[in-house]
Amino acid sequence: MPQAAVEFEVRYAETDQMGVVHHANYLVWFELARTRYCAEAGLPYPEIEARGYLMIITRAEQDYRRAARYGDTIRASCRLDRISRRGLQFNYRIERGDELLTTGSTRHIWVKKDSLQPCSLPGELQEKFTDRDK
């Protein structure tokens, strides 16, 4: 399956006094990669919202292997693992060069923006994700 990735430098504000990245920042990095994935699939977040839908996270998992530190150049990548009419799951990798630092996943459900009620995603929007993965 295709993936999307984004590279960035770890900022001081993302670290503790020892220069180690705080664990909550990995979820932010997952979002950076997921946002890139959606944009490359032809369905950027603003367009999803403009069409009246939101992707709500229902589960997030992270497995830490090594710490990222202030000044490191990080690559956050995302790939779509599963998709259905009502939801999807993304998998992530956080790397420093060839070194794997963290893996994770997030599950999402589709909701209507105005009511926040779960819904099915229209086929033409779902196809944007599935067509990218062919």
Q: Would you place residue 134 in the very low, low, confident or very high pLDDT band (cuts 50, 70, 90)?
A: low
Residue ranges of domains in the chain, CATH in brackets: 3-122 (3.10.129.10)
Can 16 be counted among the known catalytic residues?
A: yes
Q: Give the pLDDT confidence of 23-79 residue by residue, as tens digits.
A: 999 999 999 999 999 999 998 999 999 999 999 999 999 999 999 999 999 999 999
Q: Which of 16, 63, 131, 133 is catalytic?
A: 16
Q: What is the structure's pLDDT at 123?
A: 82
63, two tokens: 């497995």
Distant-in-sequence contacts of 115-119, Cβ < 8 A, 24+ apart: 116/54, 116/56, 118/86, 119/53, 119/86
Q: What is the structure's pLDDT at 75?
A: 98
Q: Give the pLDDT confidence of 100-123 residue by residue, as tens digits.
A: 999 999 999 999 999 999 999 888
Nearest-angstrom CA–CA distance, 36 and 51: 19
Nearest-angstrom CA–CA distance, 125 and 134: 15
Give Cβ neighbours of residue 14 (< 8 Å, ≥ 6 apart): 21, 22, 25, 70
pTM over 0.85: yes
The distance from CA 58 to its chain's CA centroid, rounded to whole angstroms, is: 13
